[in-house]
Amino acid sequence: MTRSASLLLGLFVVACASDPAPPPPAPAGPLFQDAFDGPGAFPAGWDSTNGDVSVVDAPDAPSGGKALRAQSLTSRPRDALALKTLKSPGATSLTCSFAVKLAKYGGDSQLTVGRLDIAGGALLFDLKPDGWHFFGRFGTQEIADSGPGQLLGKWSVVKITLESTGNVVVVFDGEQRIKRVDTAATPLDASRGALELGLASPPAVADTEALYDDVVCTSR
């Protein structure tokens, strides 16, 4: 090896030794989150709202101070919904959690208060004063489960996970239910989804109101 070649090699080795290793990538943050603590009555960050949906003062909300309110009046029963599109290229799992309180409800049937979609299917979450329920449709496949509870006027936490592998996990106030979808019959894609909170098809028997707080969606 020539002297000049040796010198260049030595400089290269020194430079490599002196350069610090690149830092590890920072952990990914939430895909979307909202504690509804921003200014104004409109829920910023959501793609669209329909019906009577607004941010209101809620001293008992888990995050403290404010919450998203969806309401339907007896005089004009209608959907009250907020929608957020969720995209995470390459993700195989989508999870959304939120706190919810059924503040007013005069009916005795299940009331849909939340929905999580991915490409290939969707899961609807329902509340009524004496219990909770979920229903999922994935192609021609359906899943469902339920549990009891005294829920009128009480804050609860819902966590829904939909996976491209077919696993469906629902946790309500710490109580977990796991279901399985046959992805050979219905392919699922968790990299594309949407979260919808609010009242879907509320009854006309009485004023209906649900409050929401601490919305967090993640993917992996």
Q: Is residue 18 part of a domain?
A: no
Residue 3, Cβ density class (10 Å: 0-12 exposed, 13-18 middle, ≥19 buried): exposed
Assign residue 205 the CATH number of its domain: 2.60.120.200
Give residue 143's pLDDT band: very low, low, confident or very high (50, 70, 90). very high
Task: From residue 187, give the alpha-carbon distance in Å to each of 13, 92, 96, 140, 147.
Answer: 51, 12, 20, 12, 29
pLDDT band at 42 (very low <50, low <70, confident <90, very high): confident
Does 70 fall in a domain?
yes
For 56, the domain range is 25-219
pLDDT band at residue 28 using 50, 70 and 90 as cut-offs = low
pLDDT at 29: 66
Q: How many domains does the structure of the chain reveal?
A: 1
Please state the φ and ψ torsions of residue 44, each to the nearest 5 degrees: -65, 145
Mean pLDDT of 101-105: 97
Among residues 148, 142, 145, 154, which one has the least CA distance to residue 211? 154
Q: Which of 86-95, 101-110, 192-201 has the lowest mean pLDDT?
A: 101-110
Beta bridge partners of 33: 216
Give dist(CA 93, CA 56) in Å, integer: 32
* Per-residue pLDDT at 40: 82
Measured distance CA(217)–CA(30) in Å, rounded:
6
Specify if 62 maps to a domain. yes
Is 57 among the domain residues? yes
Burial zone of 2 (CB within 10 Å; 0-12 exposed, 13-18 middle, 19+ buried): exposed
Q: Which two tokens stand for residue 151?
A: 């829920």
Question: Is residue 17 situated within a structural domain?
Answer: no
Q: What pLDDT is recorded for position 49?
A: 95
pLDDT in tens, 172-215: 999 999 999 999 999 999 999 999 999 999 988 889 999 999 99
Is residue 11 in a domain? no
pLDDT at 156: 99
Q: What residue type is 211 in one-letter code?
A: L
Establish if 194 belongs to a structural domain.
yes
pLDDT bin (cut points 50, 70, 90) of residue 157 is very high
Question: Is residue 1 scored above 90 in pLDDT?
Answer: no
- What tens digit of pLDDT does each residue of 110-142 get? 999 999 999 999 999 999 999 999 999 999 999
- In a domain, residue 102? The reply is yes
Q: Is 172:158 a contact under the CB 8 Å cutoff?
A: yes
The per-residue pLDDT for range 53-72, each reduced to its tens digit, is 999 999 999 998 999 999 99
